[in-house]
């Protein structure tokens, strides 16, 4: 009965959200419309000023690098909150966990083959994120998907061994801290925080963009670790002892 009422009560807010989304999408400019003065200035000057061929990445990790740092710490804080809540709820777990064995040969084979492919593709998207479409955020999500496929292909035990909690916690913190540390390079050079102070290199090569390349990698590391942490915590929640879940 409670579940039925929950479904009924959730329909009005979902309908309201859907209406707002439809209203917002119908108000978007047509494809190919003028992108505004800011976009025109970025298109004209980004490659010459920053030696970057992906202007979206130039905006994210250079012209608006502070905004991106705040977004990264929003993700960091959200994941840490999730970790603290779920880990504390599992401290008193007892009993036997539900079965988590992969019984399908097809799932094991396909997942085992695709996991390294998705991981390498994510690393490629991060590496070339300031040259071609991509970047640290997009590549981090793709790379973390490889870890999720490891669970689908090998089960919980394999996933825990390849994605230890201590390593994930440290890696996420390291990625967030590296972004801030790179920002202080500008201060040491007598400029503003997050000022691009490293050599810009040649546009279209991996040795281009100055601090943009390093910030892109810092974000990629943090996002990858954050999403793998999310997967791990929810998988741990699923595989915790069934009688402990029932008590909660």
17 or 154, higher pLDDT:
17
pLDDT tens sequence across 106-129: 888 888 899 999 999 999 999 999
pLDDT for the residue numbered 99: 59
> How far is residue 160's CA from residue 59's CA, in Å, rounded to a whole number?
37
52-56 mean pLDDT: 94
Residue 81's pLDDT is: 93
Question: Are 52 and 64 within 8 A, CB to CB?
Answer: no
What is the value of pTM for the model shown? 0.81
Share of the chain above pLDDT 70, in %: 90
Confidence band for 223, pLDDT divided at 50, 70 and 90: very high
Share of the chain above pLDDT 90, in %: 59
What does the angle CA 106 – CA 159 – CA 216 come to, to the nearest 5 degrees?
Answer: 105
Rounded average pLDDT over 35-51? 89
Question: Buried b / exposed e across 132-158, counting CB within 10 Å, b at 16+?
Answer: eebbbbbbbbbbbbbbbbbbbbbbbee
CA distance 224 to 240: 24
> For residue 136, is pLDDT > 80?
yes
d(CA 67, CA 214): 16
Would you place residue 2 in the very low, low, confident or very high pLDDT band (cuts 50, 70, 90)? low
The pLDDT assigned to 96 comes to: 54
Confidence of residue 104 (pLDDT cuts 50, 70, 90): confident
d(CA 132, CA 167): 30
What was the pLDDT predicted at 52? Answer: 93
Is it the case that residue 245 has pLDDT exceeding 90? no
Domain assignments of the chain as residue spans, ordered by start:
3-243
Q: From CA 172, how far away is CA 55, in angstroms rounded?
A: 26
The predicted-structure confidence for 167-186, as pLDDT tens digits, reads as follows 999 999 999 999 999 999 98
């Amino acid at each position: 009965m409670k579940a039925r009422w929950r479904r009924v009560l959730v329909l009005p807010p979902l309908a309201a959200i859907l209406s707002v989304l439809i209203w917002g999408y119908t108000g978007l400019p047509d494809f190919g419309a003028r992108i505004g003065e800011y976009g025109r200035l970025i298109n004209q000057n980004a490659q010459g000023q920053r030696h970057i061929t992906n202007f979206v990445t130039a905006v994210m990790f250079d012209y608006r690098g502070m905004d991106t740092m705040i977004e990264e710490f929003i993700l960091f804080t959200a994941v840490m909150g999730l970790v603290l809540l779920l880990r504390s709820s599992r401290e008193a777990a007892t009993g036997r966990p539900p079965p988590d064995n992969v019984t399908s040969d097809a799932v094991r084979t396909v997942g085992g083959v695709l996991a390294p492919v998705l991981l390498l593709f994510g690393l490629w998207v991060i590496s070339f994120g300031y040259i071609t479409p991509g970047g640290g955020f997009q590549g981090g999500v793709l790379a973390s998907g490889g870890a999720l496929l490891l669970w689908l292909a090998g089960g919980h035990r394999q996933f825990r061994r390849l994605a230890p909690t201590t390593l994930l916690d440290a890696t996420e913190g390291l990625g967030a801290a590296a972004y801030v540390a790179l920002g202080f390079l500008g201060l040491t050079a007598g400029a503003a925080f997050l000022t691009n102070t490293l050599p810009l290199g040649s546009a279209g090569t991996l040795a281009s963009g100055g601090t943009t390349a390093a910030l892109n990698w810092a974000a990629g590391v943090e996002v990858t670790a954050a999403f793998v942490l999310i997967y791990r915590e929810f998988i741990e929640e699923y595989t915790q002892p069934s009688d402990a879940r029932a008590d909660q």
